[in-house]
Structure formats: C-alpha cells, structure tokens
Amino acid sequence: MKPLFDFPAICHAQERARRLDGDTFLFTVSAEALADRLATVTRRFQNALWVGNHVPDILQSCAAHWKLSTFNALERLAAEVGEYDLVISLYSLQAINDLPGALAQLRRTLKPDGLFLGALLGGNTLKELREALIHGESLTCKGASPRISPFADVRDLGALLSRAGFALPVADVERLTVSYGDFFALARDLRSHGFSNVLSERSRRPLRRDTLHEARAYYAQRHGDSGRLTATFETIFLTGWAPHESQQQPLKPGSAKARLAEALGTTEQPAGEKPC
C-alpha cells in the first residue's frame, strides 16, 4: 500500500523552509502554548527529548538536559527506551504515515510518570484554501487533485493517545485566524513553515495559470475582507503520561457510595422503564 506522505518531499520541504528563514509565527505561538502547559506542572524535568531539529528558546529552561531526534524514512525514532521524563513534538508528527506507531514509540521513550506534549494541525486548518483550490480545479481541470494534506480530528487523537498506552490523555484545540494581504503571502508563509504539499498522490505539475486565477478569485469572494484574505489555523495539543502507580485511577464500576438520582434530587427509573 502506498504511503500517504512522501518522505523525500518532506525532507525537501523542511530544507527549503530552513533556507527561506521566514516568519514561522505558528511555531512561535504553539511553543508558547506548550510552555504555558508546562508551567502548570510542579516538577523539574531532567532528561528531555525534542522530536525535531531545534528546541525553541522559550522551552530551553523547561528541562536540564535536551536530546534531539527525528523520525527516519522508515518512521523509526532513534531514542533510548525509558530514558526521558519529558518528550515534546512541535508539528514533527504532521507528516507521519503511521501515527499510532509513532505515538507508541514516543510512549516507550518515557520513564514511568514521564510527560508527553505534542502539537499537530487540526481538521479546520486551511479550510479556505482547500475550498478555493478545489473550486479552481473543478472549473479548469477534469477533477481536483490532492493539494492540502488531511488533518487530524481532536477526538481521534485523544483515542490514539490511549491506544498508544498513555495515561490521563488530553487533546484540546486552539484556533488562530490570520489575515493576509494576498494569496501569495499565504503561500510564502506555508513554505516558510515547511507546510508544502508532501502527499504521495500529489500532482507533480505546477498549478495551471487559469486554475490559480479561479482559485484566487473564489478565495477573495468567499473569504476576503476589505481586500485581505482570511486563513484558519487549528492546532491540536496532546498531553499524555507514561503510566505510574501514583497517578489518579478511575473508580471501578459499581464502587460509587451514592446514587446519581439522589444527588440530582430526582426519582430513579429502572432500566427499560420510561415515564409517559
């Protein structure tokens, strides 16, 4: 089965982003959000793993020692098992084909009661651009080709954390709406972040001029305001802990000492019986 994402294209997009050295505002905002989450943890982390090439300055002081690692072409992570008490991924899981497997690998690198924090783009990201490109290609071509990667759903990611073996899993969403002067400013920002089209089934042909014209016109009409274009970025933040006996455990079924009906001041109805 052909993978969803093309690893050479991923490497090319990341290398081009480093060369462009543009305004990676989304990385900055999300790193600040991760720092805010860490600030609520009353604990000093010693050995931390950063899944990527550079730890943002705002997160450097969150751990005494950092190690950097990335997933290779086989989506294997070079990191010691049970070595870290903190693992962070900032969009480095964005183009992983086997996300459940990647999360399981990250879980294994943690010591008991170690913390994982992650950030991925969510389902509503670039919804305006996706809509405009589909419209443009539907008018000028015989069909739309995949040009924007599919993004994860917050409920699915919460379930994947549990499946990977994390305790106390949490997935929450933050949305950012950005205003652009024109279509090409948005394209430059996406390239600067390394968010180019890296789908294996992507078209290798450049976007046709008439397609681009129709897409730009549609975008301006449907998602423009006073000559500017609106773009939505949705980030899903993941939190999970390596299991440990000291963590809060859910109560066993039937262990409650009071009835819910009593707490609510209502009359309990036996199963199968409903009031008329």
DSSP letters spanning 142-153: SSPPP-S---B-
Provide the pLDDT for residue 263: 61
Q: Considering the domain boundaries, does residue 73 fall inside one? A: yes
Q: Give, as one character, the DSSP assignment of residue 165.
A: T
> Whole-angstrom Cα distance, residue 16 to residue 11?
9
Contacts of 185 (CB under 8 A, 6+ apart): none
The pTM score is: 0.87
**Cα 72–Cα 73–Cα 77 angle in degrees, nearest 5:** 25
Q: Tens of pLDDT along 47-73?
A: 999 999 999 999 999 999 999 999 999
- Asked if residue 77 is part of any domain, the answer here is yes
Please, which residues bridge with residue 230 across strands?
A: 179
Domain assignment present for residue 138? The answer is no
User: Considering its fold, how many domains does the chain have in total?
Assistant: 1
More confident residue, 244 or 223: 223
The per-residue pLDDT for range 113-148, each reduced to its tens digit, is 999 999 999 999 999 999 999 999 999 997 888 899
CA 221 to chain centre: 29
Please give the backbone phi and psi of residue 248, each rounded to the nearest 5 degrees, phi first. -60, 135
CB under 8 Å to 162, separation ≥6 — which residues? 169
231: confidence class by pLDDT, cuts 50, 70, 90: very high
Longest distance between any two alpha carbons in the chain, whole Å: 70
Q: How far apart are CA 29 and CA 26, in angstroms?
A: 5
Would residue 49 count as lying in a domain? Answer: yes
Could you tell me if residue 168 is inside a domain? yes
| Residues sharing a CB contact under 8 Å with residue 132, sequence separation 6 or more, in sequence order | 215, 216, 218, 219, 222, 223
The rounded distance, in Å, linking the Cα atoms of 52 and 54 is 6
pLDDT for 235 beyond 90: yes
Answer for the pair 117, 37: CB distance below 8 angstroms, yes or no. Answer: yes
pLDDT > 70 fraction of the chain, expressed in percent and rounded: 89
75, part of any domain:
yes
- Classify residue 213: in a domain, yes or no: no
Which residue range forms the structural domain that includes residue 172?
Answer: 7-127+146-183+191-197+232-264
Measured in degrees and rounded to the nearest 5, phi and psi for residue 86 equal: -150, 130
Residue 65: its H or E element: strand 63-69
Percent above pLDDT 90 for the chain = 79
116 found inside a domain: yes
Residue 217 pLDDT exceeds 70: yes
3-state helix vs strand vs coil in the chain, percent to 5: 35, 25, 40
What is the CATH classification number for the domain harbouring 109? Answer: 3.40.50.150
